[in-house]
Chains A and B, each alone.
Chain A
Amino acid sequence: MSSVHIRDVRKSFGGFEVLHGVTVPIEDGEFVVLVGPSGCGKSTLLRMLAGLENITSGTISIGERVVNNVQPKERDIAMVFQNYALYPHMTVGENMGFSLKLRGASTSEINKRVQRAAEILALTPLLERYPRQLSGGQRQRVAMGRAIVRDPQVFLFDEPLSNLDAKLRVAMRTEIKELHQRLKTTTVYVTHDQIEAMTMADKIVVMHDGIVEQIGSPLDLYDKPDNQFVAGFIGSPAMNFLKGKVAVNGTASFEGPNGVKLPLKSAPANSNGQAVVYGVRPEHFTIADDGADAEIIVVEPTGSETQVYAKLGGEQVVAVFRERHQFNPGDKVKLKPDPSLVHLFDETTGKRL
């Protein structure tokens, strides 16, 4: 186990910069999730950490050691690839024991450690099989087993669940988290799925177009997104955004499109008339007599909750209710955001106000 420090790391592919100075501190034993839309540079960063891509500038250290010029095999890290990268010509047991064999461990030592990892991952009955005889979920576990056997300083995962079906994905999510709680190995996990990030991470790093947008605990990011990108990326369904301006007239409020007035708990100093984006999460709407007029477009009940799409000041918004309302398309309702839970962002910079 080891801490990891990524300091002002940049990466260019043939003159084209894809990472523009990324700094991420990772504590010993932490489970860190790098999340962001496809193409934002998550895999590239992870591969640089593994030593599979060289570092254009900046430093990466594992423990106290700067590893910029350290060969992958000397970094003492294990990686689970998106396509698992199991050796097709080796059995499950051979796949898991391969790194130990290369290190010259004795057969009995290899067997012991493979057995132990296989027990943790419930792979014992499959040790003699070849990868092509396994289901997707089993292959995924073998890939993890290969990492565990090595007992490395750091685990790296690159979208390990994206080839699994939805149900298995949820199960494996829990399994990986449990595994981490048991082994406490520093883990860096890459995904584009914010739910995976929220459910698994101790710390989330939100990336976008080669920069870090925000680093924080899942609930920090949910409660206090630094900017409009993070606000829109974290949470499902995504946060609603309305453009308009602040109106301070004794009390503060927000004037949205088509004269919609929405409540504000307080306004930043000297912000009267400032152009802002008003953000409200779907689950922070209530039906109230003093709410804003809205017209229901679509109602989607899921059982535990109901998603309602409505037109508010001419814009489409989505609201989620845990109570059961009898809504029909075309109904007029009064929607009210909880003023203590709304977010304001500068319209030009997107920064939180």
Chain B
Amino acid sequence: MAVIAEPVVQAPRASLLSRALENRSFLGSLFMLPAILILVLFLAYPLALGFWLGLTDTSIGGTGHYVGIANFVSLAKDSVFWLSVFNTIFYTVTASVVKFAIGLYLAVLLNERLPFKSILRAIVLLPFVVPTVLSAIAFWWIYDSQFSIISWVLIKAGLIHNYIEFLGDPWNARWSVVVANIWRGVPFVAITLLAGLQTISPSLYEAANLDGATNWQRFRYITLPMLSPIIAVVMTFSVLMTFTDFQLIYTITRGGPINATHLMATLSFQRAITGGHLGEGAAISNAMIPFLVAAILLSFFGLQRTRWQQGGRD
């Protein structure tokens, strides 16, 4: 059946709407609108509100007034705040370094020809799958002063005589929450790095093998540099997530003992919601921003240096 196309009759004056729909930039804006709305509603607005609250003395139930940088001035003299800054940095740096080391080790291991590889991969992912609060509660039990399985095992083995005060002593508590965070964060690092490893062509290793590289040299000269872009991305994410961690700490120690494990996020929550001082809590949150921006910039410029990926300018 041949249909003879009728000559398209151009409407003498297309309606405003149909003309607008022909317009590239109008159409582009239209398509972006949902995304923009979501970003504004759930990202920009809370952020702006947080900024604003940080500059007021708002408390729960009361309207606040603009107080300038008064909140920050008082925080600067607040030793608990500075302790939380120290704790956050300690927590982030130690946990990230260890997560990276263990994650890379696991990724390299899982990338080898292993028996039961898929089962092993599933096992590695487990800590990531369990809801954070559940795993935090598990750690809370592990670290319990009377029921701790670690203390129990060590005592039965005759290695120690008294139950360890995991969460009662400041430094024990700090290390304890770091270990919990590592356990929780390693799967993300390991699985992402494993995905990165799998993009490295096996023929590069074969070539290196023929070129005379030992196992260590293959790792040092092939794996590590080829993986560096993905390492930068993963570790940025990992640092950001660790720096802003809340759930683990809040469930295991609530910041104790005597604020020894308070992170900036938990302190902010405590001052704002528990204590009712929304303005002060928001100011603590805002104080995290420079650190986060610094971390992002660091990885951004770190990423830029991998010139071999982007081609040169010539």
Contacts and interface: CB of A to CB of B under 8 A. Distances in A.
A88 B213 contact: no
Interface stretch (A9-17, A70-78, A197-205, A219-227): A70-78
Interface in A75-89: 77-79, 81, 83, 85, 87-89
A177 B291 CA distance: 61
7 contacts: A52-B209, A73-B212, A98-B208, A98-B211, A99-B210, A132-B309, A150-B211
A88 B314 CA distance: 18
B312 interface: yes
Contacts, number: 70
Contacts of A78: 210
B203 A73 contact: no
A129 interface: yes
Given A81-B206, A83-B203, A89 B211 contact: no
A50 B208 CA distance: 12
A51 B207 CA distance: 11
Given A132-B308, A133-B312, A133-B314, A87 B212 contact: no
A72 B209 contact: yes
Contacts of B125: none
A103 interface: yes
Contacts of A50: 206, 210
Interface of B: 201, 203-204, 206-213, 217, 221-222, 225-226, 306-309, 311-312, 314
A129 B312 contact: yes
B207 A85 contact: yes
Given A88-B226, A99-B212, A102-B212, A133 B207 contact: no
A130 interface: yes
B210 A79 contact: yes
A107 B222 CA distance: 20
A213 B225 CA distance: 45
Contacts of A79: 206-207, 210
Contact of A89 (B207, B212, B308): B308
- Main secondary structure on B side of the interface with A: helix
Contact of B209 (A73, A89, A103): A73
Given A81-B207, A98-B221, A88 B308 contact: yes
Nearest to A79: B210
Contact of A133 (B212, B226, B311): B311
B207 A87 contact: yes
B223 to A, nearest CB: 11
Contacts of B312: 129-130, 133
Nearest to A78: B210
A103 B208 CA distance: 12
Contact of B217 (A51, A72, A89, A102): A102
A62 B123 CA distance: 46
A103 B211 CA distance: 9
Nearest to A88: B308
Contacts of B206: 50, 52, 72, 79, 81, 85
Nearest to B206: A52
Interface in A146-166: 146, 150
A83 B201 contact: yes
Contacts of B307: 130
B284 to A, nearest CB: 42
A85 B203 contact: yes
Contacts of B212: 73, 99, 102-103
Nearest to B207: A85
Contact of A132 (B217, B221, B226, B311): B311
Given A50-B210, A99-B210, 16 more contacts: A51-B210, A52-B206, A72-B210, A79-B206, A83-B203, A87-B204, A87-B222, A88-B226, A89-B308, A102-B221, A130-B311, A130-B312, A132-B308, A133-B312, A146-B211, A150-B211
Contacts of B309: 88, 132
A77 B201 CA distance: 21
A132 B307 CA distance: 11
Contacts of A81: 203, 206-207
A90 B212 CA distance: 17
A50 B206 CA distance: 10
Nearest to A81: B203
Contacts of A99: 210-212
A51 B212 CA distance: 12
A42 B314 CA distance: 40
Contacts of B311: 130, 132-133
A132 B204 CA distance: 15
A131 B312 CA distance: 11
A130 B308 contact: yes
A91 to B, nearest CB: 8
Nearest to B212: A73
A102 B225 CA distance: 16
A47 to B, nearest CB: 8
Interface string A220-257: 00000000000000000000000000000000000000
Interface in A81-119: 81, 83, 85, 87-90, 98-99, 102-103
Nearest to B217: A102
B226 to A, nearest CB: 6
Given A88-B226, A89-B226, A73 B308 contact: no
A18 to B, nearest CB: 19
Contacts of B225: 89
Interface in A33-64: 50-52
A99 B208 CA distance: 8
A158 to B, nearest CB: 10
A72 to B, nearest CB: 5
A77 B207 CA distance: 11
Contacts of B226: 88-89
